[in-house]
Structure 1
Amino acid sequence: MTSIILRDVSVDHDNHRVIDGLNLTVDSGERVALLGPSGCGKTTILRVIAGLDQVAEGRVLLGERDVTGLHPRDRNIAMVNQEASLQPHLNVERNLGFALRLRKVPQEQIDERVEAESRAFSLKDLLRRRPKTLSGGERHEVALARSLVRRSSVLLMDEPFSKIDPVRRGILLRELIQVQEGYGVTLLIATNDQRVALGLAERIAVIEKGRLVQVGSPNEVYNEPASTFAAGFIGSPPMNLIDGIVTRLDGQVHVQAGPLSLPTWNTALTSYLGAPVTLGIRPQDVQVDPSPRGAVLRLQVVRREFMGKEVTVHLATGSGLHLTATVPHPGPDLDGRVGVTILPAEVHLFDPVAGTLITHGV
């Protein structure tokens, strides 16, 4: 097994810095997801590790070996790219064994490995078919299985599930975890799909504009987002982010956002008196009561989204405050008025300029 270590890595494309001073360690045998929007640098990070892109500054290590200037073929890395490129003139079975034949692996071993991965990923019925007869999702599945046939110590995956339907994706995620753990492969996946990252990874590295903004377990990045970017990108529906201010009312420090006013006993916030803040509230933490009496706020239901056992409701006041809440089915009626309660302990406060977390719980 092999770890991946990026030390102060920067990458330039056309005189533009696309990765800036990145430090990241993926432990041997670990599953880590690079999560961020399209164009944030996720693919470039994978290509740097694979040796397909060169660094402007910094070092790339696989285990204790510095591979910064090493040719891709000498790194013992398997990579699945977004295009799921397959050899068009070969059927699925021969595509699966293609890299092994290039390395002069005995045919008996090739047959054993192809059999194992085609069984693990339920590809037995596709072995005699050519790539042009496969759907986009099937080609990605073949490319995924092919990468594991090599038994490389490191596997890099770039949006491997983007063309696979949700039901099949869930099955493949479970199969991939089982195979990865069985082989002890170090796995780094790039995705803009939080469902893939949260379901697959042991740790998530959140990337924004070529910078690493947070690394942590799925639970940590969801419950303790380090920035407004992480807070808004992770979670479905995304976290409510509301402009507010720290003020004093009747001798008590309050966090106020329009008609929402939350008293706080967090003494650290006294140093923020008069300062603007951004309140972050998960939709699941917005408590909705069909009876508005006694609630902190009274809002109108302006939109409903059916989500099975839950309903996402969009709420608004006449003063311009908007909140999204997730409530059990059937939820309140459209255009109805409801009471809303916000627990101070569930509120995140962020610096509105830097976007960084000030505190969780007011």
Structure 2
Amino acid sequence: MGRVLEGIHAITLLELFTSSSNCPRLSTFVYDAKRFVLYNQLAIEQAPLQAYCSALVFAPTTSIIRMQFKDCIPKWVRRLLKVESNWNALLQTLEGHSSSVHAVAFSPDDKTLASASYDRTVKLWDAGSSAVLQTLEGYSFSVHAVAFSPDGKTLALASYNRTVKLWDARSSAVLQTLEGHSFYVNTVAFSPDGKMLASASDDRTVKLWDAGSGAVLQTLEGHSSYVNAVAFSPDGKTLASASYDRTVKLWDARSSAVLQTLSVDSIINSLSFSNDATFLQTNRGPLYSTFLSSNAALSTLSLPPSVFVGQHWVSREGEALLWLPSEYRPSCVAVQDGTVAFGYGPGRVLVMEFAL
């Protein structure tokens, strides 16, 4: 008991070895074994013999481990439930918070995952084994947003107590406490070089901070409602902010001048720059800007076809195509190419696919 993580580590090493060998059957077996252990990690950790009971019963019907050890399923389980035939996309379930989790972020090397919860803690997890590496405590209010610095050494946490704290991701020591916002801080983002940090708040402002000294460099004012998303361009010169006022603003990160204001018909909750910095990727779909595209007319650009989900319409390449009835109006949206997923009503998720 208590040594499942060692087993996962051993299987991972074996998986690396078999993937480079000319033995596909062994490689497939080891892969299935890893999925089996990861999915049932908590049960095996707390009650090891459940590997021969619960873990086998709930494994997919085509799982190699299930088929190999099916005779170990207890005879008192007379009728097996219908389960999926193959492993689904879920790799692991990380458990440990005592309340709902509302923010997560991967480290730049994808080896660590940070999760923020209403239980007023932030946990750092080993993304490969799901082991808890650190638990950051000491908050009197919940942490609303998390972000790793580009080098992965610093973690920025935005809290409902109107502050941003910078933590050492390895030692869990507090490096800086950034104070200045007059209301909740909703999100944070590091500049690509890690020298600046942007924070967006319900006080309708975006603040730019010196990540090393904690000094305020700029306060960006112009939104008429809560600011809930920020992102730096790849070169760090431009900052984008999205607000409940249904606008997205592009700012000069050095002078704080507004470069462009884009009006949208819905609230954007997340955004980032495309790799070539010619458009913004948002949770509702791509958002194009003449400023980002070197001030060229959009009609002359070779832009990828896109779907955008507004409050009432689903649009393709700017043309409103599908009206959303009131009962299907989304509370949250995610768009990837032509696939759209949106949450609506009491806990429902709808997935649609559109031709591009």
More helix by share: 1
Answer whether TM exceeds 0.5 for this pair.
no
- Flag the structure with more relative contact order, 1 or 2, with Cα contacts below 8 A and sequence separation at least 6: 1
**TM-score (normalised: structure 2):** 0.27
